Chain A
């Protein structure tokens, strides 16, 4: 085949899908096309049909790639062309032409009709895409698009009825949702085989893979093709206007599931579950659909339930899983599409003629609508499976292939088909005789007029085809069924030939029996309806239950969650984490062998007491103080470990934390003091194992020797490189100077932020709080000492405990003491600059300290060190680190003081009284 042919065929195939899209777009865009909407829609479908016929005549075969859409995800827009796919597409386009024409007549020139036909065209395009797509993911996309379009289609009459939205939503959720596992199935197939159907046909997947894929795809089939227990959306969808039902529920939407089954048969038909699941589900659906159809008064609902029943029959047939069964299924699929579309349109005609669809009001229409009577007769005959119509042929074939099935499957299938078919004969008779014969049961029915040509042409064509299909069995077999089923199954099928007369065979006898019993059933019921049967099977109850169950569960959960305290969640995480520590419990034995230091044990004991107090004592301030006690004991532990710098820092931070805490606690509005946390058994149950696990962990970690590299490096490098003996300070000021720089900037920013946030809250009375006389006098003594201490910490920091950070903290503590004693106003008057300005100057110094070396051509934050001996007698060590440290001091002291002052002022302007 030449490249040009391939390109042409690619375009033609794309055109098949595009034509209805164009028609739809045209209709959406142009208001004035109201009157010719049906014509535009039918033309779109007609052009599609023409292109399909063209490709059929060319005997196009193989995959035509249009666009490598998302190659990373194996999404490729490509068409799979063969006589099978094209024949199904032709059916969809052909029925499309008829339905669009009918819809034009049905809606008349209205904006609603135009929109409905436009949407119907888009739906048709999605359906054609679904049929022709080779790539599984494209198939999925088209599949979901049909569901989305159907949502809007079912909602067409939203202005007239209020049940449409619920019905549309049901259809959407069930069919779109059911397809989601299918996506996984496709992903799975793509991962074990290929995302292309054609390539999958060439592979022989292991049974396990086939089973997994089948199970994942099955929900999509069952939901789309309305199998129990997902069937309920289909009768609900009858809220849609008749043309839409005629299209969606005969040839297209509901067939998608069956088409998918046919497509997938060569890929995963080998799994035993194929038969084990599809046959019973199809059987139950077939019988139940028939039963419910018998009980309907509304003939449109009768048709809907009959569709459910026949879909069940087809599912069952395909489920038998032999080549022959697939062949029978394909034939039935076509036959059903023809007669069911015709019957739905006839129902539309009856409705139009008699203004009612209820059997209890119809009757005797033959007089006034003779044409419709004859068409309906042929179509009903086909549905009931009478010779010489298409329905008879396909039912014969369905019964024929049963003889080839396994015994048990055979029995189940025969019972289901026979029962379902008896019901079919009965309800078809009910519909036909109830509508057309007898005497009219209402005034409307007696005044019925024959509907116009627009209502009659489609049933005429479809009835004629049903007849031709039956009579021309031989040619149909040779020119249609054989090539179509061969190309769909992917290999030739040995099968008996179709004919109206095979002689007296088992299927024929069964058929005769079915018709007889069906007729008797109809006579016995004589127009009476049947009870709807158990709720569980009868309606959207499942869906509703699912929804209300989810809702109730959600309600319960959200209420339960709202009440749960955070400690529950924290506890959960802790328990979860520490479950892993059970193997470490053995380490607890180290408790007895550990070398306990007396001082350390004493400090730990005090700490334990404080913690116990925290849990058992009431009161906020008590707890703040006890928390400080815990902090101080930690400082003592540092002292025992010979870490004076840490001791200093810890102490000062503790003091400041206590001050800030005390100030902040006053903002808590409630006056009553909180009750003790207490020890409940649940808390103990979490806490005790957690504590033990923690202890075990500590012992386990203690056993590992510490890594000496870092301490060794710093101990050696501090005196030599940075000329300082205090390693901690050297690290802060020199080795990791950048960290300190950035951290200090953070402190400044935080202080500025706090200042800004609190500033705007200042309002109300300004009653300034001062310390008592004693406090003021004491402060007079302490303050100079504190400042001197802070200065000493700064200057000596390089070699002895101290340093910029600690010094800054000390200054801050001194300042807090100062304004607490004298009041902030007089404190402000005594200091030259506002604290937040000091912080900013500190930042500027820091920046200078880091930038100046860079200007001098050295790395950022390089320091110089040396010794100065002005008189030869003193040796004063100097270091530019000091400059840097001064910046740190100013920033920390300024920032913290500023924040504390704001807090102080706020607490004291809001309410009177001090701490």
Chain B
């Protein structure tokens, strides 16, 4: 029998811990529903244990017969995903209690999706990548529809499901084609075959296009972005935060592995043209449409589309610079979005209604901490120094300029400028406009406020002193481009 070795099991200890925690939560939910109050704590313990395991055990490199690569890159991505999950859980507790939907399944599904994302990001073989993607997606279909009494939530779940299923189909089809072309599902083998042939033959090209198409759905890149606004708007806010960050991170890593492995930048001008087209279209469309949104969550959805457009620029550049830029961008994107969504999770009255920017009028002085956290994150999203969003864009554009893509960088900065309009509008509403006559009743939650404040602090501190993140990203990416 092909048994897993001890190293194999240790290597995925964090995943195992999360899975066990998820199972435990389901069983406790089924048999001891009285303990619900402690579920978020239990989930949190599981996540912390997973982080501990990732930091504690040595990184073995290739495991599971070479299908997974548990190295510095995997550790970086795992920890960034797990931190995002901590934020999600932190804002989920009070949120679920408020909407009276706190049950064990919620946390279990979040944890399982997390495992999926981690598997996806640390796999170097298309099959486990696909498995990871499915494990990530299926819980999210359910989670988006978690507020079953809210029509928009159910609609969000359904939309995400339909789109996600099609995206998976694309991905599987692409994998099959790549396998057909190269007789392997191992990224290293595929990569070296393609790179050494010096061009994309039609089979590889179609396969790649299908895979990129499938991943583009997860990343909400144009033209596969249409689901994002509705799903962001309808889903429960903690789920939206998770959805905005974790699947995108995992998908970007896979894209990066593909681009790097096949050396697409150098062998395929068509890839560069197509990817640059996607990047530019995503940035432009995301930013321009965001300007007219009146719902904060929809606005953030479009902003997310634009941000993935920026990240795509780094993917195109690939290599050590581009790869590190992708990682830094992910960290920045995560912190900013977590802060923003945590703030919005608190600054909302009813989940099934739109989160109007107008409802935030005058909140700057009414709820100073959360408003300041939101402001920080929005400034950072706009790419204003000294916040981490600026550092991230700086790193991406630097990579692009160094590789000769000045024009892509110019389009990027012009887009950043456009984006300032809609981010500033929220700040304007919070600080420059008076409270509306009928004051919205926002329930204060210490836990959510703390989550928002911590994210905002991270945005600021890592913006001013980004060296730790930059160094970690560089070390991590060396594994890939070595």
Q: Which residues of B contact A216 (CB under 8 A)?
A: 406, 410
Bound complex: CA A165 to CA B288 (Å): 22
Hey, what's the 0/1 contact readout for A54-81 against B, CB within 8 Å counting as 1? 0000000000000000111100000000
Which residues of B sit under 8 angstroms from A737, Cβ to Cβ?
1
Q: Are B288 and A187 in contact (CB under 8 A)?
A: no
Are A554 and B292 in contact, CB atoms less than 8 angstroms apart?
A: yes
Q: How far is the CB of B466 from chain A (nearest CB, A)?
A: 6
Q: Determine whether A561 belongs to the interface, using a CB cutoff of 8 Å to chain B.
A: yes
Decide: A863 and B1 in contact? CB cutoff 8 A: yes
| In the assembled complex, B35 has its CB within 8 A of some CB on chain A | no
Q: Give the interface centre of A158, A574, A576, A579 by most chain B CB atoms within 10 Å.
A: A576
Residues of the B chain whose Cβ atoms lie less than 8 Å from the Cβ of A581? 202, 206
Interface residues of B in 161-217 (CB under 8 A from A): 162-163, 166, 170, 174, 177, 180, 183, 200, 202-203, 205-206, 209-210, 213, 216
How many chain B residues touch the partner (CB < 8 A)?
Answer: 75
Known: A141-B385, A735-B2. A173 touches B417 (CB 8 A): yes
Question: B462 → chain A, closest Cβ, in Å?
Answer: 11
B246 at the A interface (CB under 8 A)? no
Q: Closest chain A residue to B401 by CB distance?
A: A187
Q: In the bound complex, what is the Cα–Cα distance between A863 and B148 (angstroms)?
A: 46
Given A187-B397, A753-B26, A72 and B413 contact (CB-CB distance below 8 Å): no
Task: Judge whether A682 is part of the interface by a CB distance below 8 angstroms.
Answer: no
Are B471 and A697 in contact (CB-based, < 8 A)? no
In the complex, the answer to whether B413 meets A184 with C-beta atoms within 8 Å is: yes
Q: Are A738 and B4 in contact (CB under 8 A)?
A: yes
Q: How far is the CB of A737 from chain B (nearest CB, A)?
A: 7
The yes or no answer to A180 lying at the interface (CB within 8 A) is yes
Measured CB to CB, the nearest residue on chain B to A585 is: B202
> Whole-angstrom distance between the alpha carbons of A141 and B210 in the complex?
42
**From A147, which residue of chain B is reached at the shortest CB distance?**
B384
Please report which residues of chain B, range 392-410, place their CB below 8 angstroms from some CB of chain A when the two chains form the complex: 394-395, 397-398, 401-402, 406, 409-410
A720 on interface, CB distance cutoff 8 Å: no
**Given A70-B466, A187-B401: A572 in contact with B223 (beta carbons within 8 A):** yes
Q: Within the assembled complex, what's the spacing in Å between the Cα atoms of A212 and B290?
A: 31
Cβ-based interface call for A183 (8 A): yes
Interface flag for B481 (CB, 8 Å):
no
- Cβ-based interface call for A535 (8 A): no
Docked Cα-Cα span, A70 to B391, in Å, equals 10
In the assembled complex, which residues on chain A have CB atoms less than 8 Å from the CB atom of B227?
566
In the docked arrangement, what's the CA distance between A158 and B434, Å?
14
B401 near A184 with CB under 8 A, answer yes
CB distance from A547 to the nearest CB of B (A): 7
B28: min CB distance to chain A, Å: 12
**Chain A 567-608: CB-based contact to B (< 8 A → 1; otherwise 0):** 001101110111111111000000000000000000000000
Interface string of A532-573 (1 = CB under 8 A from B): 000000000000000100110111011001001010011011
Contact A756 B30 (CB under 8 A): yes
B272 close to A (CB within 8 Å): no
- The minimal Cβ–Cβ distance linking B169 to chain A, given in whole angstroms, is 9
| Interface residue B293 (Cβ < 8 Å from any Cβ of A) | yes
A573 touches B406 (CB 8 A): no
**Mask: chain A, 729-756; 1 = CB below 8 Å from B; 0 = not:** 0000011111000000100010011001
Stretch at the interface among A106-114, A258-266, A449-457, A854-862: A854-862
Q: What count of chain A residues pass the 8 Å CB interface test?
A: 73
Indicate with 1 or 0, residue by residue over B397-432, a CB within 8 angstroms of chain A CB atoms.
Answer: 110011000100110011011101100100010001
Most-contacted residue by chain A among B1, B177, B398 (CB, 10 A): B1
Known contacts A553-B288, A561-B289; A861/B213 CB under 8 A: no
Question: With A and B bound together, what is the CA distance between A697 and B207 in angstroms?
Answer: 11
Q: Within the complex, which residue of A72, A551, A580 is in contact with B206, where a contact is CB–CB below 8 Å?
A: A580
Q: Are A177 and B183 in contact (CB under 8 A)?
A: no
Q: Report whether A165 and B432 are in contact in the complex, using a CB–CB cutoff of 8 Å.
A: yes
Distance of A384 from chain B, by nearest CB (Å) = 39
- A169 touches which of B292, B409, B413, B424 (Cβ 8 Å): B424
Contact (Cβ within 8 A) A554 B402: no
CA distance A71 to B424 in the complex (A): 31
B476 at the interface (CB under 8 A from A): no
Chain A residues with CB under 8 Å of B226's CB are 561, 564, 566, 569
Q: Which residues of B contact A860 (CB under 8 A)?
A: 3-4
| Residues in B neighbouring A141, C-beta threshold 8 A | 385-386
Given A177-B417, A216-B410, A749-B23, check contact A188 B401 (CB 8 Å).
yes
Q: Does A144 contact B (CB under 8 A)?
A: yes
Q: Please, how many angstroms separate the alpha-carbon atoms of A572 and B274 in the complex?
A: 13
CA distance A756 to B107 in the complex (A): 13
B78 at interface, CB cutoff 8 A: no
- Distance A256 CA – B188 CA, assembled complex (angstroms): 52
| Complexed CA–CA distance, A191 and B406 (Å) | 12
Once A72-B471, A564-B226 are accepted as A-B contacts, the answer to whether A577 and B394 lie under 8 Å apart by CB is no
What 0/1 pattern do residues 208 to 238 of B give for CB contact below 8 A with A? 0110010010000001101100000000000
Identify 17 new A-B residue pairs, CB closer than 8 A, beyond the known A184-B401, A547-B421, A862-B1. A144-B384, A173-B417, A181-B410, A181-B414, A187-B409, A216-B406, A554-B291, A557-B288, A566-B166, A577-B210, A579-B209, A580-B206, A582-B202, A736-B2, A738-B4, A749-B112, A756-B30
The 9 closest A-B pairs by CB, nearest first: A577-B209, A580-B205, A180-B413, A573-B213, A859-B3, A177-B417, A554-B292, A72-B470, A554-B291
What are some 14 contacts across the A-B interface (CB < 8 A)? Answer: A73-B466, A176-B384, A180-B417, A184-B397, A187-B409, A550-B288, A554-B289, A554-B290, A557-B288, A558-B293, A566-B227, A576-B274, A578-B209, A756-B105
Residues of B within 8 A of A (CB): 1-4, 22-23, 26, 29-30, 103-105, 108-109, 112, 142, 148, 162-163, 166, 170, 174, 177, 180, 183, 200, 202-203, 205-206, 209-210, 213, 216, 223-224, 226-227, 274, 285, 288-293, 384-386, 391, 394-395, 397-398, 401-402, 406, 409-410, 413-414, 416-418, 420-421, 424, 428, 432, 465-467, 470-471, 474
